Structure 1
Amino acid sequence: MQDWWRETFPKGKQNLTIADANGHPVSIAYGEKGTGKPLILVHGIGSWSYSWRHCIEPLSKHFRVICFDAKGYGFSEKSAHPEQPGHQLLELERIIRALCNEPAIVVAISLGALASLAVVQEHPELFAGLVLINVPIFPEGLPNRWMRSLSDLPIELLKIVDWLRLTFFFSTLVRAIVRVERREVLVDWSAVTPEEVYWITYPYIYIPGTLAKVTEELQIAAQEIKRLQQKQPNLISKIQSRLGEITCPTLIVWGDQDRWFPATDAEKLRSRLPHAQVKIIQECGHDAPANSPDELNAAILEFLISLEDFECPLR
């Protein structure tokens, strides 16, 4: 297979070093394409920059598009230190500050969108616009059976799996499982190609430490959702309670057939954001960038053009 980074970005994969939430230096993989106002794409849990493969080229015709792999995901460094709830928020802020010398447009999906909501609450000066795709702001639990299964496993066991490279030796099985599970996030899941499955699973099969770190993230997410349901202190309810403070122009995008988080959450969220609008994409599941990229890209560009106080290069 080709080098996806080099095929996608003029400079291929680049690396940025930031201090993570534990104060340790970590290497973040990223790529960028295009010129103009910065537009950052933030992936969801278990994913990496490849999830934006259909959005990078169209959006880069108008913006400086930046894709990065969050710490522990994709080609970014897998820290050996245990993670704490909310570490993604501090790290996202530091990545934006390091890569952008002006307020950025942030386009984020799923857990990445939830993290972006928290960051814009604390640092509104970093955002020129915000696009939230299928954001789990009102979750009832981990939405996928494999997520729930992994979250119940001891981290030490997953570290052994990584150390023994078992995902590599059972790569055919791993890819088969992912291909089947894609039916949950796509409407036409039969269109999934071998190349897509190859790249989605690449970090799990070829980059040791990925499985254990993603599992740790799932466990943190499960614990936060449990605390939310039990009305104990948690990050999700804190984000919910401050939604009215967000003044950044916001577009909420939802797939009408999202099986993980219902499309009705879009309007529920819009009612709590002072400057938000909603776009429902028809015949679209949770993974909108893969399921309906043309509709998603059009919605993003239309939203940016509509911003009265935003000097959009599309005007």
Structure 2
Amino acid sequence: MKTWWQTKFPKGQQNLIINDIDGYPVQIAYGEKGTGRPLMLLHGLGSWSYNWRNSIDTLSAYCRVICFDAKGFGFSEKPIARREKNGHQLIELERIIKELCDQPPIIVAESLGALVALALAAKNPELIGRLVVINAPVFTDKLPHWAMGILAQTPIEIIQSIDALRLPFLFAPLVREIMGIERRKVLFDPSILTEEDVYWITYPFIELPGTLVKVAEDLQLAAKEIENLQANQPNMLTHIQNNLHKLECPTLILWGDQDSWFPAIHGEKLHRYLPNSQLKILNNCYHDASTGAAQVVNTAILEFLQDTGYI
């Protein structure tokens, strides 16, 4: 059976080596399709490149689409022996852009990926040509899902033991069933998520050791950030919010009108913070917009790029 990479990208899965925040080399999996200006697709927490399956063909007709798995997710390397440090995603995204792009790319980013993209656009504006953010957790004050809370509170040693024993693999049918149920809850039309989709969405958790640990580590970092935010202690969320006014890059904000994780009023607030932004509310759309509203998302992205003279 062909892998998803082989069916979607002309060269299949490609690999890139970058140094992470600690200076250690890590392998990043990516695929690319099309020619022209580089357009990078960033997934959210607990997801991987497969989440962009419905956008790659459409966008690659106009751009050189680059779709990569963030460190520890999907098919990218998972440094099990080292604990993650706060802000690692920002450093890693910066290094991936510098390695793969010969000009400032268009960044299209969803959920946590959108938060990281906003942080990078404020810190290094010269690295990003255009920005599209979808359902970004920039004003959140809690973890949005019960399972996230459990993973954030569970000692990492327990998660490591579960992973080492390959329990997700041993109970694969149950893992697929539970994750399929939960992923359908963030879609306006749950029926569009096929069994093949569930297979690939859950594949890294079941087949690739280290995925569950990586998700738990990032969730624990996120929970600590929210705790610091609520206690008025230094935190990256406040830092990002306070620097949004510096972001001059033309930005399109897309937001699901029925996103129960991060409500649409957050999108309206972000629009007010960003001086050079457009806001489009996606009708009948929950949190997973790249799956649940792919056609509308793709059209909005292309119209924005055309309107701002980028394609």
Q: TM-score range by the shorter chain?
A: over 0.9
In structure 1, the partner of 2:18 is 18
Does structure 1 conserve the Cα–Cα contact (< 8 Å) formed by 2:106 and 2:131? yes
Could you say what secondary structure the match of 2:72 adopts? coil
Give the Cα separation in 2 of the matches to 1:281 and 1:128: 24
Q: Does the alignment pair 1:4 with 2:21? A: no
Identical residues among aligned pairs (%): 56
Deviations 1:186-241 (A, max 9, x none): 11113321101000000000000110111101110111011111111000000000
Give the Cα separation in 2 of the matches to 1:311 and 1:74: 30
Any stretches of 5+ residues in structure 1 without a counterpart?
none
Deviation at 1:184, TM superposition (A): 2.9
Q: Give the partner amino acid of 2:38.
A: P
Q: TM-score, normalised by structure 2?
A: 0.98
Where do residues 149-228 of structure 1 align in structure 2 (5 Å cutoff)? 149-228=150-229
In structure 2, the partner of 1:131 is 132
Deviations 1:258-301 (A, max 9, x none): 01000111110010101001011100111101001100000000
Deviation at 1:63, TM superposition (A): 0.2
In structure 1, the partner of 2:29 is 29
- Considering only aligned residues, what root-mean-square deviation do their CA atoms show, in Å? 0.8
Q: Give the partner amino acid of 2:65.
A: V
Change in 2 beyond 3 A, CA 1:182/1:32: same
Deviation at 1:311, TM superposition (A): 4.1
Q: Does the alignment pair 1:39 with 2:22? A: no
Could you say what secondary structure the match of 1:271 adopts? helix
Deviations 1:69-110 (A, max 9, x none): 000101000012111110100000000110001010000000
Q: Does the alignment pair 1:146 with 2:147? A: yes
In structure 1, the partner of 2:86 is 85
Give the Cα separation in 2 of the matches to 1:83 and 1:165: 21
In structure 1, the partner of 2:294 is 293
Does structure 1 conserve the Cα–Cα contact (< 8 Å) formed by 2:184 and 2:193? no
Q: Does the alignment pair 1:283 with 2:284? A: yes
Where do residues 298-313 of structure 1 align in structure 2 (5 Å cutoff)? 298-307=299-308, 310-312=309-311
Could you say what secondary structure the match of 2:273 adopts? coil
Runs of 4+ in 1 over 6 A off after TM superposition: none
Deviation at 1:150, TM superposition (A): 1.1
Number of aligned positions between the proteins: 310
Give the Cα separation in 1 of the matches to 2:44 and 2:192: 21
Q: Does the alignment pair 1:259 with 2:291? A: no
Any stretches of 5+ residues in structure 2 without a counterpart?
none
